[in-house]
Copies of this chain bind each other. A is one copy, B any other.
Amino acid sequence: MIVILKENPNPRQVENLKHWLQSQGITIHESMGVHQTVLGLVGDTTAIDIDLIQALDIVEDVKRIQEPYKKANRKFHPMDTVIDVGGHKIGGGHCQIIAGPCSVESEKQIILVAELCKKAGATMLRGGAFKPRTSPYSFQGLHSQGLKFLLEAKKETGMPIVTEIMDISQLDLFEDVDVIQVGARNSQNFELLKKLGTLQKPILLKRGMSGTIQELLMSAEYIMAGGNPNVILCERGIRTFETATRNTLDLSAVPVLHQLTHLPVVIDPSHALGYSKYVPSMAVTAAATGCDGFEIEVHNDPAHALCDGPQALLPEVFADVVKKINAVRAALGWEPTGK
């Protein structure tokens, strides 16, 4: 970390800053320029809060050299993390497709969709039992009954299940869930992240609606710092000024994350686009990034099941998307999904 001091800083404040830094175990290299003094901080600066220093009266600017995350940092763990979910590997060249309806509606529905998704090439089943909805008056999911139906579908099809938790108090219900999903709105719910850090179960962590890539990695670091290394990152669109799509899918996040971290990266085109008509094209496009997985909404009858329809694909459309994803992967020399 480099701290650039203002011209003629208050010497008492400079001393305070230096003592405080040294008390945190940091060694300071000071160099004086014509107009400015620069402090080079050597040591483990991950616990140093850059905002705090940046805002001091005497400080012109601060520049972090070391990233503020350690366990998620590829520099310290060059090998890809590979996460095993019921025999299906994610990361390190292994790519899985997670598919299923937005909400679990009934046992019959979830089993039917699960079978159709599996047939089309999906290897994991998604489905919402607890649904974060903007309006308190909207359907909020079937809760524990929804989880029960999901587990039935797992029994019927053998597919591991991925489903979203919304609060620590729900955790007991997630014992048989294979991957716990943390939604975009909870991506900086630090108490929840800390709790999930005490498990060993894989966590699918979604990027916040206005979360930077570094913030996503800091949220992963919360889980990993607690002792759970099994974090799967998920890009699902960010909020921008553009309204033609619900969010803006930031596919550049894949090469950026693959450079910065060893954790696997999954793309969710359904929530990013918000309109089913654009989902197939962007799912196939995402395949060319070399992402480690996909999370795609599929429903047997979107037109009827209104509450699920908008961003869900029909099973036959989904099957075609999977074929194209694998055609793109093959063209780029990568193993097919599901391996």
Contact = CB atoms under 8 A, between A and B. Distances in A.
A328 B239 CA distance: 29
Interface of A: 2, 4, 10, 12-13, 16-17, 20, 29, 31, 33-34, 36, 38, 40, 42, 46-47, 49, 51-57, 60-61, 63, 65, 68-69, 132-138, 166-170, 185-186, 188-192, 194, 208-210, 212-215, 218, 221-222, 225-226, 238-246, 248-256, 259, 272-278, 281-282, 284-290, 303-304, 306-311, 324, 327-328, 330-332
Given A285-B289, A328-B328, A136 B225 contact: yes
A284 to B, nearest CB: 5
A248 B272 CA distance: 14
Contact of A63 (B2, B208, B282): B2
Contact of A65 (B20, B61, B169, B256): B61
A259 B245 contact: no
A255 B281 contact: yes
A34 B40 contact: no
A51 B246 contact: yes
A307 B52 contact: yes
A272 to B, nearest CB: 8
Contacts of A276: 55, 57
B239 A241 contact: yes
A332 B284 contact: yes
Contacts of A222: 136
Nearest to A245: B252
B309 A52 contact: yes
A282 B253 CA distance: 10
Contacts of A170: 191
B251 A38 contact: no
A269 to B, nearest CB: 9
